[in-house]
C-alpha cells in the first residue's frame, strides 16, 4: 500500500513539475514578445527611424548624402533626449507599415498621418505637425479650382498615403469617376503635372515649395484646404514605455522652444498649432 501511495505521489510531482515548466516557458515567450523596446533602444545605443528620404523638406538626402529635413531634425532631437544615436532607414511609404512590423526600424517619423485605420496596426504619439492639403494644378489651368472639378480628370497622389485613401474612399463616391495615378515620390508626380500627364494632385505647399523652386515647375495651389492632416510618430503596438517617453520629449521640445526652432528652420514661419 505504501509503495502504491509513493508511486502516485511521484507521478503527481512529475506532472506538477511539467505544468510549471510549461507555464514558465509560456511566460518566457510572452515576456520576450513584450520586451521593453525603450530599454532595448537604450541598451543598443541607437534609435532606428524609418522615413522616405525623398520628401523634402520633411526628409531627404542633402548634398553631403546625409539625411536631412524637418522629420530628420525631430528624430535627431528625440534620440539626443533618449541618450542614444539615431540611425535612418530609407523606405518607400507604401512599405512603411510592413517595415515597422518586421522590426526593420523602431519608429516611423515620416509624415505618417494619424488615422483610425492605422491605429489598429500601430500606436501613435501625440501629433507633431499639422499639414493643410490643397489641390495643385498647372499655372495655366483654370478649369480645376477644387476637388469638385476632379470628375473625368487624371489625378496624381502618393502611393499608400492618407491622401490616396481619401481620394478612393471619400472623394470618388462624392464627385464622380476620375482616374487615380499613384507615385512613389513627389517629384515624379509634379513632373507629370507640369507636363500635363495628370490634371491635378493633392498635397501641402510645405512639401512642394522646395521641389518647385529647384525644378522651376509652373504649378499653383487652388481653393481652400481639402483637409488638415495630423502626423504622429508610429511605433509597434505594446510598447507603452517608449510611447510615453516619446510623448514626454515632444512636449518638452515644444515647451522649451526647440520644436519652434526646427519648424521655423524648415518652413520659415511659426507653427500654427
In sequence order, the 6+-apart residues with CB closer than 8 A to the CB of 39 are 241
pLDDT tens column, 243-254: 999 999 999 999
Mean pLDDT is lowest, of 1-5, 91-95, 237-241, 257-261, for: 1-5
Residue of 163, 194, 204 whose CA lies nearest to 180: 163
Q: What average pLDDT score do residues 5-12 get? A: 50
Q: What is each CA distance from 185 to 56, 87, 121, 211, in whole angstroms?
A: 10, 22, 24, 11
User: Which pLDDT score, from 0 to 100, does residue 121 have?
Assistant: 96
User: Which pLDDT score, from 0 to 100, does residue 262 have?
Assistant: 98
User: Which pLDDT score, from 0 to 100, does residue 11 have?
Assistant: 46
We find that the CATH architecture of domain 43-130+230-267 is 3-Layer(aba) Sandwich (3.40)
Strand order in the sheet with 46-51: 85-90, 46-51, 107-108, 234-236, 122-124
- Out of 3.40.190.10, 3.40.630.30, 3.40.50.150, 3.40.30.10, which CATH number does the structure's domain 132-229 have? 3.40.190.10
Domain ranges of the chain: 43-130+230-267, 132-229
Q: What average pLDDT score do residues 6-35 get? A: 48
Cα 89 to Cα 71: distance, rounded to the nearest angstrom: 13
Residue of 12, 49, 56 whose CA lies nearest to 209: 56
Mean pLDDT of the chain: 89
User: Which pLDDT score, from 0 to 100, does residue 35 have?
Assistant: 62
Task: Evaluate if residue 48 carries a pLDDT over 80.
Answer: yes
Domains 43-130+230-267 and 132-229 share a fold: yes
Residue scoring higher pLDDT (115 or 27): 115
Mean pLDDT is lowest, of 6-20, 96-110, 161-175, for: 6-20
User: Which pLDDT score, from 0 to 100, does residue 251 have?
Assistant: 98
Task: Evaluate if residue 22 carries a pLDDT over 70.
Answer: no
Amino acid at each position: 500500500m505504501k509503495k502504491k501511495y509513493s508511486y502516485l505521489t511521484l507521478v503527481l510531482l512529475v506532472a506538477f513539475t511539467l505544468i510549471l515548466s510549461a507555464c514558465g516557458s509560456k511566460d518566457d515567450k510572452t515576456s520576450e514578445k513584450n520586451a521593453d523596446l525603450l530599454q532595448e533602444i537604450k541598451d543598443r545605443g541607437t534609435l532606428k527611424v524609418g522615413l522616405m528620404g525623398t520628401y523634402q523638406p520633411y526628409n531627404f538626402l542633402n548634398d553631403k548624402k546625409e539625411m536631412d529635413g524637418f522629420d530628420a531634425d525631430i528624430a535627431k532631437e528625440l534620440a539626443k533626449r533618449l541618450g542614444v544615436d539615431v540611425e535612418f532607414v530609407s523606405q518607400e511609404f507604401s512599405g512603411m507599415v510592413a517595415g515597422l512590423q518586421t522590426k526593420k526600424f523602431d519608429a516611423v517619423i515620416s509624415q505618417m498621418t494619424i488615422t483610425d485605420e492605422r491605429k489598429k496596426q500601430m500606436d501613435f504619439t501625440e501629433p507633431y505637425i499639422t499639414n493643410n492639403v490643397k489641390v495643385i494644378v498647372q499655372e495655366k489651368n483654370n478649369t480645376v479650382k477644387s476637388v469638385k472639378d476632379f470628375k473625368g480628370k487624371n489625378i496624381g497622389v502618393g502611393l499608400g498615403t492618407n491622401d490616396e485613401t481619401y481620394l478612393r474612399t471619400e472623394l470618388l463616391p462624392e464627385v464622380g469617376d476620375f482616374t487615380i495615378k499613384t507615385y512613389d515620390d513627389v517629384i515624379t508626380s509634379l513632373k507629370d503635372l507640369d507636363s500635363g500627364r495628370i490634371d491635378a494632385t493633392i498635397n501641402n505647399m510645405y512639401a512642394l515649395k522646395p521641389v518647385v523652386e529647384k525644378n522651376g515647375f509652373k504649378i499653383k495651389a487652388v481653393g481652400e484646404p481639402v483637409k488638415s492632416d495630423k502626423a504622429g510618430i508610429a511605433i509597434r503596438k505594446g510598447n507603452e514605455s517608449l510611447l510615453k517617453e516619446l510623448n514626454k520629449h515632444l512636449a518638452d521640445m515644444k515647451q522649451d522652444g526647440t520644436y519652434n526652432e526646427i519648424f521655423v528652420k524648415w518652413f520659415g514661419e511659426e507653427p500654427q498649432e
